[in-house]
Structure 1
Amino acid sequence: MLEFAGFLPILLLVGMAAIQLGLIGYGINQAGSAARAAARAASQGDDGGAAGTAAVSGWLSPNVSAAEGADVTTATVTLQVPAVIPLLPSVTVQREATMPTDD
């Protein structure tokens, strides 16, 4: 019983680190999907920012920018993944996608 009580904080820290890594992976996936959706919408003349924001879970609060060019449209999504482990900062995730502009 004493050994388990001494080892419990380490187990909790390892578990929280695994959850944090999972959240970061989820944030990377969400940012990539949002960048593709924003670039696709902006390349077709629609509002890329709205499309990118709609493609992300609301609790991640993304910052979406989509710039339509003559040949290609590039969208960039930046979001903050909150920290699960106390005293650690949140993680900033940024993804970019490029699509050909429809004429």
Structure 2
Amino acid sequence: MLLQVRDNGPGITPELVPRIFERFIRGDAARTRTEGSTGLGLSIVSAVVAAHHGKVDVTSRPGETVFSIWLPRRQSAPGPSAPAAPYDPRVPV
């Protein structure tokens, strides 16, 4: 499965692109930790995607930045699955 997020802003500087998924990397020098930016957002995205055996990438140029996330399709469990037990709200006494 492929998920893409596109932005039409100023783009990411070429020097920053290879490091954009590292912790504490911030692209906008005007934003500081006191204003709420820690530089952790994209590193968290990268970690979550990796935990699901996926891949995340970015391409950027002025006027267009594209974040692409590839996730593998979910594999079904081998063998037949047991039917779910019906819900019974009664408590045996």
* TM-score, normalised relative to structure 1: 0.33
Structure with the bigger RCO (C-alpha within 8 Å, sep 6+) is 2
* TM-score, normalised relative to structure 2: 0.35
